[in-house]
């Protein structure tokens, strides 16, 4: 059993009370919810992806177009980690809250599909998905499952079955716009919610980092659960600087069982 400080226990009770009394609660998740599943985040010192690589050199649209081999070499170990990852207790807790009607949608910056694997139904993917690939020439879209094994095991670059050009993972790279439909849905949810939970996000990347402000400006409550402070902790009703895989199940237990 994980020991939680009395202050954290009090925050968990307050967060559970806010969730129980909300009419339209919305979740915003970042990389921090998936690190307990073995997927590295981006900015943690020493372990984050950008502590080892320059993002514009490995994960930009320009790199993909001009040096696709370099992109896929960087992407291959990350794809393996995502392919092997399984939902952790934080993902499962959110799925349970959704199942019982306490949350209406999950807006995520993650592309690992762990929310869907955990059973969540209404997931808005702002940075794309690992589930599909799209041809850079004829725009034919395919399911990634048919290509991921040969790419991970042998490094075989995915090619379009129609024109043999490279297939690009449907994740948003630096230099690409967010998917318009997903962004509009996310803004609608942020502006229409009465409670937003920010989970595992440092809120450092715009425009997604502005979504909680859109909620606050319309009178919504705000809960932040992350291992480091964000720029909005001072505005949050509840701020918990603990492991999401420990705190979220505790909150869910309190919501469902009092």
Give the CA dihedral 106, 107, 111, 113, nearest 10 degrees.
10
- Report the alpha-carbon distance of residue 163 to residue 12 in Å, rounded: 54
User: Is 221 in the active site?
Assistant: no
- Report the alpha-carbon distance of residue 223 to residue 194 in Å, rounded: 11
Residues in the chain: 258
Give the DSSP letter of residue 60: B
What would you measure as the largest C-alpha separation in the chain, in angstroms?
61
257 burial level (CB within 10 Å; 0-12, 13-18, 19+) = exposed
CB 247 within 8 A of CB 231: no
φ/ψ of residue 138, rounded to 5 = -105, 0
Annotated catalytic residue: which of 21, 100, 115, 127? 127
Active-site amino acid positions:
127
């Amino acid at each position: 059993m994980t020991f939680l400080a009395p202050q954290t226990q009090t925050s968990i009770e307050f967060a559970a009370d806010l969730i129980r009394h909300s009419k339209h609660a919305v979740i915003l998740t970042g990389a921090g919810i998936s690190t307990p599943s073995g997927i590295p985040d981006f900015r943690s010192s020493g372990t984050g992806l950008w502590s080892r690589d320059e993002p514009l050199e490995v994960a930009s649209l320009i790199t993909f177009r001009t040096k696709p081999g370099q992109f896929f070499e960087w992407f291959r170990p990350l794809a393996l980690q995502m392919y092997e990852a399984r939902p952790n207790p934080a993902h499962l807790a959110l799925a349970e809250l959704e199942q019982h009607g306490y949350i209406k949608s999950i807006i995520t910056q993650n592309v690992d599909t762990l929310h869907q694997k955990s059973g969540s139904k209404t997931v808005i993917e702002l940075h794309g998905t690992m589930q599909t690939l799209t041809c850079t020439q004829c725009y034919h879209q395919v399911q990634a499952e048919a290509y991921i094994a040969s790419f991970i095991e042998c490094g075989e670059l995915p090619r379009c079955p129609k024109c043999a050009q490279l297939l690009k993972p449907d994740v948003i790279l630096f230099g690409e716009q967010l998917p318009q439909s997903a962004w509009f849905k996310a803004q609608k949810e942020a502006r229409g919610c009465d409670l937003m939970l920010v989970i595992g996000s440092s809120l450092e990347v715009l425009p997604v980092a502005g979504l909680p402000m859109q909620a606050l400006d319309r009178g919504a409550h705000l809960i932040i659960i992350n291992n480091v402070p964000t720029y909005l902790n001072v505005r949050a009703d509840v701020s918990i600087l603990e492991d999401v895989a420990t705190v979220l199940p505790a909150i869910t237990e309190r919501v469902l069982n009092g």
